[in-house]
Amino acid sequence: MLKQILSKLPRKLSKTADSREHGGNHATYFSVSGGSRSSDLGTGKSGNLSVSPFPAPNSMADVGWKGANLKPSGNHLFSSYEALPAFKDVPASEKQNLFIKKLNLCSVVFDFTDPTKNLKEKEIKRQTLLELVEYVTSANGKFLDAVLQEIVKMVSANLFRSLTPQPRENKVADGLDLEEEEPSMDPAWPHLQIVYEFLLRFVASPETDAKLAKRYVDQSFIINLLDLFDSEDPREREYLKTILHRIYGKFMVHRPFIRKALNNIFFRFIFETEKHNGIAELLEILGSIINGFALPLKEEHKVFLVRVLIPLHKPKCLAMYHQQLSYCITQFVEKDGKLADTVIRGLLKYWPITNSSKEVMFLNELEEVLEATQPPEFQRCMVPLFRRIAHCLNSLHFQVAERALFLWNNDHIENLIIQNRKVILPIIFPALEKNARNHWNQAVHSLTLNVRKIFYDLDPELYNECLLKFQEDESKEDEIEVRRETIWKRLEELAEKKASGSEAVLVSHKANANGSSG
């Protein structure tokens, strides 16, 4: 059946051969639909190919195909893509050579846009990839240079490609919850998953010597890996998260570079695009990295907190990664309590004004930070902090007001407030009193009465002072309102008198002064 299909295709074939910096055999790409799999690979230190539509292998023996008498037919580079012998069927001395041949065989990238094409070849590759995973898992000798080079070539050929994002109609920019949408799944996942599993087993293998492998798992390789975090397929991002974390742990020489590359991704996201699919996964990796920071914290890490993590509260799509971001922030405060003031002031800087759901997230994070805050740091920022909390208490959105009142349910935070009540109560008392009088939500009203009772039972004298001050301020506001109405009435009377004439209406300087004071 396959031969009949091949015979109908045109015989002309275009060939190109691209060289890798690391030398060796070429990965072979083909597409049964007439074009190569979408790829964007540049020649670099990692040995990535600059993909041409149909690169040909150096020799069939190197690639390891049985169809050595290759006869191109139409857009195909092969007349036979057949499985190689199993590892158990060859002597131990030949296993490494067979491993390299299988790697080259799996460097052929198929086009999955048409699921009906090349089913036999795709299944052969899938089975071969599974054999490679098993071989790497059970390896009992260090991987040599030649093998490391071929491993990186095969992984690069399969994984490093351009990502084609689906149109989203600016839903990210509007801050909607994209988790409710169906994620975009890569049709090539049946092969990609096994390649990712192979890479994960390879990096985690005790037979992978980091000192040798760093020549191939280099900065270019890591950059290409990081680019894949923007994939819309959550399964791919999950694998990438685990693999990058293992690379960070194993290749210590690459740690500063990985942190710098992550910084650049975050900077671009915060200040330019506000669109990236993998921010949550990258922050999850960072949470584990931050957890392992030695004390005292390096200045570099503190700068990262101020310039990257705190500004990450700015994008509208915060909900997509807030849980992971909050964990990273809390880790810093737990590591160094003196950073609490910096973090709280940073939250106040980016505090949302019109986005109520985002405001609730900020209050959730604020509670976690305050729980790790010690009294000296709390005292440095309590005045601007409770001015903001007072605004939240008076919010017409009941979830915001309710969440702010829940802060008093935390014993540690309540103790901090009680210790500094002489400063805090005068700031929030007007908000509590207004809620108690006329907030529309019954739950907020009840919680407000409970908080007010805490202060009254604790320090009735201070409570009465604040109440008296509030009543005096109310009286002053009433006087100002009456004065304002009087001024406007005078202006209306003057306007009526002059309405029939052409003269301009003059208002005395005294009236202006009174008006401005109102």
Q: What is the pLDDT of residue 186?
A: 81
The three-point CA angle 510-516-518 to 5° equals 110
**Phi, psi of 109, deg, nearest 5:** -105, 125
Taking the C-alpha atoms of residue 436 and residue 430, their distance in angstroms, rounded to an integer, is: 10
Cα dihedral 138/142/227/361 (nearest 10): 60
The angle, 0 to 180 degrees and rounded to 10, between the axes of the packed helices 411-419 and 356-371 is 80
Mapping DSSP onto H, E and C, the string for 128-140 reads HHHHHHHHHHCCC
Tally the residues of the chain: 518
Taking the C-alpha atoms of residue 328 and residue 451, their distance in angstroms, rounded to an integer, is: 31
Q: What is the pLDDT of residue 478?
A: 83
Tell me which residues of the chain have a pLDDT lower than 70: 1-81, 165-181, 500-518
Q: What is the pLDDT of residue 180?
A: 53
Taking the C-alpha atoms of residue 337 and residue 256, their distance in angstroms, rounded to an integer, is: 25
Taking the C-alpha atoms of residue 163 and residue 230, their distance in angstroms, rounded to an integer, is: 8
Taking the C-alpha atoms of residue 48 and residue 162, their distance in angstroms, rounded to an integer, is: 13
Taking the C-alpha atoms of residue 26 and residue 41, their distance in angstroms, rounded to an integer, is: 13
Q: Burial level of 61, CB count in 10 A (0-12/13-18/19+)?
A: exposed
Q: What is the pLDDT of residue 502?
A: 57
Coil, strand, or helix at residue 29? strand
Q: What is the pLDDT of residue 6?
A: 42
Provide the CA 132 distance to its chain's centre, in angstroms. 32
pLDDT in tens, 112-163: 887 778 788 888 999 999 999 999 998 888 999 999 999 999 999 999 998 8
Taking the C-alpha atoms of residue 218 and residue 513, their distance in angstroms, rounded to an integer, is: 72
Q: What is the pLDDT of residue 172?
A: 46
Q: What is the pLDDT of residue 505?
A: 53
Q: Is the dihedral of CA 373, 376, 381, 385 positive or negative?
A: positive
Task: Provide the 10 A C-beta neighbour count for residue 489.
Answer: 10
